[in-house]
Every structure is written in C-alpha cells, then in structure tokens.
Structure 1
Amino acid sequence: MKRLIPIVIAGLIATGALAQETGAMERETLFAPADMPDLSEFRWKKRPVLVFADSDNDPAYIEQLELLGERPEELLERDVIVLTDTDPEARSALRLKMRPRGFMLVLVGKDGGVKLRKPFPWDVREITRSIDKMPIRQQEIRDAKEAARER
C-alpha cells in the first residue's frame, strides 16, 4: 500500500501537467484556416465557427476576429474552433459548400449541422448564448453539474 501512494501521486501530478499543457495547446488552436475538405474531423468533438470574407482586409472580418479574441476562454469552454477563409479565388471545399457572399459567420454544431448563419459580425456573448441553447450543450451542462455534485 505504501508503495502505491507515490505512484498515485506521481500520476496525479503528471495528469495535472498534461492538463495544463493541453489547455495551452487549445488556446493556440482556437483559430485555424478553413482549408480542410469537410468538417468531419470535428464531429462530436468541436463546434466549428466558420468566418468567411472576400479579403482579410474586410472590416466585418477584422471586427469579427477582434470580437472573438476578446473572450477566447468562453469559446474554448464550449469546444469552439474558429475556422477562417478569406480567399474566394481558392474555392475551398468549405467555401463551396457554405456559399458565402462576402462576409459570413457560420455556427456548426457538434453533430455537423449548420445551426446559424449571419451576414454580419457577432460577439462572443451572442454566439455562446446560441450554443448554450443547443440540446448537446444542455446535456454537457447537466453532465458537468452531476460530476460536480459527485465530488
């Protein structure tokens, strides 16, 4: 029994370090280019928020990225990944599927379905409220409350 205690403590310390490392990696991966053929890699793992514009100089695009950057922790808490595409000439697979006209924000659920399209920037508060109304998010909230009660 005495030999097991140091092993358990070492495991807990390693798990904590891994969680901190993972948290730092997640912050770095909040934003990514929308250069994948589809969103299947995020299904049941992430909620993609796609931000399309015809140029990275589009004022709406710049405003949207600023708004998203103000409160990244709230987006990460909801498993959001922001995918950006500002090159209509490249005709990316996601751009062809979503068919944006100029600036467009698209919120995709963990189930892969498009939940919301907006032709103008939205702040994090509006996005998170929309996410929090989704059935899968409601279940995540309930599960977190149950887990907290069990501690």
Structure 2
Amino acid sequence: MKRIFPALLGLCLALSTTTGSPARATDATAPDTVVIVTADAITLQDFVWQKRPLVVFADSPFDPRYVEQMEGIMDNLDSLLDRDVVIITDTDPAARSAVREKLRPRGFMWVLIGKDGQVALRKPVPWDARELSQAIDRMPLRIDELREERR
C-alpha cells in the first residue's frame, strides 16, 4: 500500500492539473466542493471566507513524512471536507509557487489556514485527520458554525 499511494496521489494530482481546475467532488449534494489542488493552480486569496486551506509542503512527493501526511488525510477525507477544508499540495520547491513564497516552508511542513486567511497552525511533523479535525473544531469560526448548525 505504501508503494502504491505515491503513484495514486500523483495520478490524482496530475488529473486535477491537466483539466486546469481543482479536483472536485461529483456528489450533486456537495456543490463544487474542492478536494485537492496543487499550489501552482491557486492563490490563498481564492479561499478566504470560503474554505480552510490545509497546505502540505515537501521537497519531493516521495518524502516519507509527506506520504504519511497524505495517507492520513486520504484515510479520513470526509471529516475534513465536513469542515470545509481544501487540501493544497506543493512538492516542487523549484516552481516557487505564490503559496510557497508566502508561507516559506523548510522541507516538509503543513499549514492550516482559517477561513479568515490567517495561519492557524504550522507543523513540521505529520498529523492524522483526527488531530486536524480536533484542531479545526477549536477554531472560533468553526465553533460559531457548529452553533449555527444546532439552531
């Protein structure tokens, strides 16, 4: 499985960039839900007040920490999508994407950005989707969203 995952992830990313738009859910009840996108295809401003970007950086798509992080995300993707998370990947430092220029990673790193466009978390080690979901659930805007859902 660990050998297949980088190839599968690469295929998903290739498909999302060849169409010129982010990969999207096909479920009619989830209108235009962005799932995964590469950093060269977007800017962080595209998601302000719409989504919570989770940006995953590495110097190579074969970095073991990157693979572990992406496996954790893919294993529980639904829980992140329920929290309006969009996954942005950047594994090419030479491309110098606008996202990489703004967040300035060193090797592997992931950054969670709130809907307000501010950096909420920045970590140099992989977290599983459960930990990410709990961190999002503690964010003030997410707490407000949950209150509104209960009403």
Q: Among 20, 41, 51, which residue is 1:46 paired with?
A: 51
**Which residue number in structure 2 is paired with residue 144 of structure 1?**
149
Q: Among 55, 80, 88, which residue is 1:75 paired with?
A: 80
Task: Report the Cα distance in structure 1 between the residues aligned to 2:27 and 2:127, rounded to whole angstroms.
Answer: 30
Stretch deviating more after TM superposition (90-99 or 101-110): 90-99
**Which residue number in structure 2 is paired with residue 33 of structure 1?**
38
Q: Does 1:88 align with 2:93?
A: yes
Unaligned runs of 5+ in 2: 1-25
CA gap of 1:145–1:85, structure 2 versus 1, over 3 A, is: same
Q: CA deviation at 1:74?
A: 0.5
Q: CA deviation at 1:25?
A: 5.0
Where do residues 129-140 of structure 1 align in structure 2 (5 Å cutoff)? 129-140=134-145
Residues paired across the two proteins, number: 126
Unaligned runs of 5+ in 1: 1-18, 147-151
Matched-pair identity in %: 52
TM-score (norm 2): 0.79
Which one has a larger percent helix, Structure 1 or Structure 2? 1
Which of 1 and 2 has greater Rg? 1
Task: Report the Cα distance in structure 1 between the residues aligned to 2:74 and 2:43, rounded to whole angstroms.
Answer: 24
**Which residue number in structure 1 is paired with residue 131 of structure 2?**
126
**Which residue number in structure 2 is paired with residue 103 of structure 1?**
108
**Which residue number in structure 1 is paired with residue 12 of structure 2?**
none
CA gap of 1:56–1:20, structure 2 versus 1, over 3 A, is: closer
Moved over 6 A (4+): none
